[in-house]
Structure 1
Amino acid sequence: MKIVVTGGAGFLGSRLIAALLADGAGRIVSLDRVACPLDDPRVTSVIGSIDDADTVAQALGEGADVVYHLAAVLSGQSEEDFDTGLHINVDATRLILEQCRRLPRPPRFVFTSSLAVFGGQMPEVVPETMATLPQSSYGCGKAIGELLVSEYSRKGFVDGLTVRLPTICVRPGAPNSAASSFVSGIIREPVAGLPSDCPVPVDTRLWISSPGTAIANLLRAARLDSAAIGLHRVLDLPGITVTPAQMLDALERLAGAPARARVTLTRDPRVEAIVCSWPGAFDVARADALGFAADADFDAVLRQYLDEVAAA
């Protein structure tokens, strides 16, 4: 089996590749601007941009069984640089789909979307039938990508499934350009003994998933039978609803009061305008029925991160 992962050198992509290798994957191609950090003979790195047709053709080669499309320009950068965000998140997504269309056999195409496709007036719990109304350039690009994947699936060019990821927390490493970067930052930095800012009201509802659960659900997405997916090729993945206040309470319980004291509440209107337009809870009955998983609570999410830190 050949699997292609765009963004394979990134945080989520490299973890997905590691999980695929542990699951017995035969051959994996990482398509990213830098080489995949995993050293395994089954992993080939194709270095380049997803908006370059020759690079995409090289990665897909003569065919692929599964394509995971994770690469994107994130929310903060998309809002600041409209043209680049639209070009990578929309034009490059279609370029990849077009290359898949040319393959001898349609691959399973797993596209990672976002809760940022929603906005405006929303109920407490967003139903599966909720219309998208993005209030950010990033959300707009992802919503267009969802439609493209559904249309290319309808035409039989790919066997597609869009999965809307919750905000992933806790991400290790340095902050990124996502507007939601603080969700990890208010945990990661204090645990490391560093100060951090919370730029949104502490009662803001956030829909989150741990990295481990997100990766397990991405593996599941590739294995689903097409008949089980049905006509609706977009799925809201399970998450848990938590506020920054609840996260900081957990931080104090599990990492101590000094860690909690390192977080300063500093409102940022730019971040607030984006993040507070996102929904805080979803009806995920369909995903539950299809075997996707959710974290038990935020304490479990935080323990997962603290265990990683201790093992590093």
Structure 2
Amino acid sequence: MRIVITGGCGFLGRRVALKLTGDIADRATVARVIGPGTDAVFHLAAIVSGQAEADTDLGYRVNLDGTRAVLDACRALGTAPRLVFASSLAVYGGVLPSKIGDDTALTPQTSYGTQKAIGELLVNDYSRKDFVDGRALRLPTVVVRPGRPNRAASTFASSMIREPLAGQEAICPVSPDTVMALASPRRIVAGLVHALGIPGEAFGTSRSLQLPGFSVSVGEMAAALRRAGGEAAYARIRWQPDPQIQAIVSSWPPALATSRAEALGFGRDKGIDEVVAAFIADDLPLQKQLVA
């Protein structure tokens, strides 16, 4: 089986490639990569939320034009390859119910969320026309990401665990009572790969699916850091409110209704302590080398 992963050098892309043993908006480049013999595509390439908000043209070029290029390259094959599209909770926004699910109206409040919502609709339409066999997964915020902080509005959620455990200070720009829906890298990668194996007809009329996550407050995340790393690690968090980041994060749904995904075999993390322990086991040694 030949599988193409867009964004393969990114955080999730590298991990999906491991699990499975150019310019995304340049149609010629994409067509060369997604060529004859391609059986499946993981479309993970994207400009992150904060950067897409700051640079509107770049966000639309990569997150919308790039998605169109990938879909059209798949269509040109004439074989309806399976496609897994990484969407986001950012497709929701504004006044939300206590729990959001697959049937919650898409009301994004950011350019990134708008681009992901359009991408979902495109995946559904191309699947309806049998150009691709697509599935669009709405990912919870992924924690703990290894590496360095990026320009995503959610970057603090990983940073406030990652940096203190590696001996560095971290800035938290939101209040401790902010509640987020999270999932670990282990769980997200398992979900992306699991989605590839599900028959398209199992999704019914909607190829969009909310992946399971767990709800936790930022204060509870800090408490988990304290349990794992002690007082010294906890003291490395610097609470510096940023109204713009707070507004973006507060527009995201804090709780998820995911019975449909669970019926299709997708699992969830047990809680924040398990997630922190997974980061310590999987990534902390290399993280310490990175910042040394």
TM-score interval w.r.t. the shorter chain? over 0.9
The code of the aligned residue for 1:221 comes to A
Runs of 4+ in structure 1 off by over 3 angstroms are 309-312
CA distance in 2, matches of 1:121, 1:104: 42
CA distance in 2, matches of 1:283, 1:161: 18
Percent identity reads 49
CA distance in 1, matches of 2:160, 2:19: 27
Q: Per the alignment, in what secondary structure is the counterpart of residue 197 of structure 1?
A: strand
CA offsets per residue over residues 160-195 of structure 1, 9 Å max, x none?
Answer: 100001111001111111110000000001001111
Contact 2:165-2:284 at 8 Å conserved across structures:
no
CA distance in 2, matches of 1:174, 1:268: 19
Question: Residue 143 of structure 1 corresponds to which residue in structure 2?
Answer: 117
The within-5 A match list for 1:162-311 is 162-309=136-283
* Residue segments in structure 2 that go unaligned for 5+ positions in a row: 287-292
2:94 equivalent to 1:120:
yes
Contact 2:78-2:131 at 8 Å conserved across structures:
no
Structure with more contact order per residue of length (Cα contacts < 8 Å, sep ≥ 6): 2
Question: Residue 33 of structure 2 corresponds to which residue in structure 1?
Answer: 59
CA distance in 1, matches of 2:78, 2:247: 45
* Residue segments in structure 1 that go unaligned for 5+ positions in a row: 22-47
Change (3 A) 1:105 1:205: same
Contact 1:63-1:104 at 8 Å conserved across structures:
no
Cα RMSD over matched residues? 1.0
Q: How many residues align?
A: 286
Q: With the length of structure 2 as denominator, give the TM-score of the two structures.
A: 0.96
Q: Following TM superposition, by how much is the alpha carbon of 1:196 offset from its aligned partner in structure 2, in angstroms?
A: 0.8
CA distance in 2, matches of 1:228, 1:205: 32
The code of the aligned residue for 1:148 comes to L
CA distance in 2, matches of 1:160, 1:240: 25
Q: Per the alignment, in what secondary structure is the counterpart of residue 111 of structure 1?
A: strand
* Larger helix fraction of residues: 2
Q: Per the alignment, in what secondary structure is the counterpart of residue 42 of structure 2?
A: strand
CA distance in 2, matches of 1:96, 1:128: 24
